[in-house]
């Protein structure tokens, strides 16, 4: 039986975990708020490097920032411990499954006003100030330090022969898949396209059951 971990910030997605008991759910912390305080967001922006800071600042001006949750996402101690686990005990994991919103990224939802990430930057004139898809991704994924750690995790997981999956409730993955692909690829977090799943009307564990049993 393979060994698998499923990271998600919504405990409701674990309710029917009995459907695939060998997949270990791991709950990711978030602020519990659907909208974040502006002062907290502004303070957080200051911690970012220039490109992501400019991108976040633009979203702030456009009132497109409220779903962002600096407290969310797989990070900190838990991410460090997981990296150590994969590094030192690779036999303990075969499959790694991530939720997208506020687990891989730090934002609930994604802006699907353009067909892909590059055209989002273009249509908002952000390319003219030199912003790249990787700046956008670094903002969505919580800054340079966290991105570096995720890159390290990805490298280790693939070196150890582990497969990486995304299961999301974010309808954007179906309607605007290129946004997701470009964001991930721009920061070196590649995932095979067929392993990125929009759950539609199924629960996440119902999807996992179909995929893995």
Closest CB 10 distance from Mg ion, rounded Å: 5
CA 167 – CA 157 distance, rounded (Å)? 17
Cβ proximity to Mg ion, 101 vs 124, nearer residue: 101
Using CB under 5 A as the binding rule, whether residue 138 contacts Mg ion is answered as: no
CA 186 – CA 132 distance, rounded (Å)? 9
Q: Could you say which of 66, 69, 94, 101 contacts Mg ion (CB under 5 A)?
A: 101
Q: Which span sits near Mg ion by CB under 5 A: 52-60, 100-108, 155-163, 173-181?
A: 100-108
Closest CB 168 distance from Mg ion, rounded Å: 8
CB 190 within 8 A of CB 154: yes
Q: Could you say which of 4, 5, 9, 65 contacts Mg ion (CB under 5 A)?
A: 9
- Write out the two tokens for 7: 């990271």
Using CB under 5 A as the binding rule, whether residue 99 contacts Mg ion is answered as: yes
Cβ proximity to Mg ion, 2 vs 76, nearer residue: 76
CA 59 – CA 66 distance, rounded (Å)? 9
Total interface residues for Mg ion by CB under 5 A: 5
Name the E strands within 60-172. Answer: 95-98, 163-168
- Residue among 17, 24, 18 at smallest CA distance from 2: 24
What angle is formed at CA 101 by the lines to CA 100 and CA 104, rounded to 5 degrees? 50
Q: Regarding beta strands 95-98 and 4-8, do their DSSP bridges make them parallel or antiparallel, or are they unpaired? A: parallel
- Shortest-Cβ-distance residue relative to Mg ion: 101
Cβ proximity to Mg ion, 9 vs 134, nearer residue: 9
Q: Could you say which of 4, 44, 75, 102 contacts Mg ion (CB under 5 A)?
A: 102
Report the interface residues with Mg ion, using CB under 5 A. Answer: 9, 99, 101-103
């Amino acid at each position: 039986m393979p060994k698998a971990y499923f990271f998600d910030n919504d405990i409701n997605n674990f309710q029917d975990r009995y459907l695939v008991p060998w997949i270990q759910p791991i709950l990711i912390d978030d602020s519990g708020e659907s909208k974040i305080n502006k002062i907290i967001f502004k303070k957080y922006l200051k911690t970012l490097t220039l490109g992501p800071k400019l991108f976040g600042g633009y979203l702030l001006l456009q009132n497109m920032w409220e779903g962002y949750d600096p407290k969310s996402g797989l990070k900190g101690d838990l991410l460090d411990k997981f990296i150590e686990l994969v590094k030192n005990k690779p036999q303990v994991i075969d499959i790694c499954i991530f939720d997208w919103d506020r687990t891989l990224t730090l934002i609930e939802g994604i802006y699907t006003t353009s067909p892909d990430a590059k055209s989002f930057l273009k249509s908002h004139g952000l390319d003219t100030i030199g912003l790249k898809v990787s700046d956008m991704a670094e903002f969505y994924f919580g800054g340079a330090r966290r991105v570096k750690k995720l890159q390290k995790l990805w490298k280790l997981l693939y070196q150890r022969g582990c497969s990486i999956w995304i299961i999301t409730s974010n309808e954007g993955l179906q309607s605007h898949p290129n946004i997701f692909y470009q964001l991930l690829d721009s920061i070196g977090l590649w995932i095979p396209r067929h392993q990125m799943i929009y759950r539609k009307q199924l629960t996440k564990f119902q999807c996992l059951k179909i995929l893995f049993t």
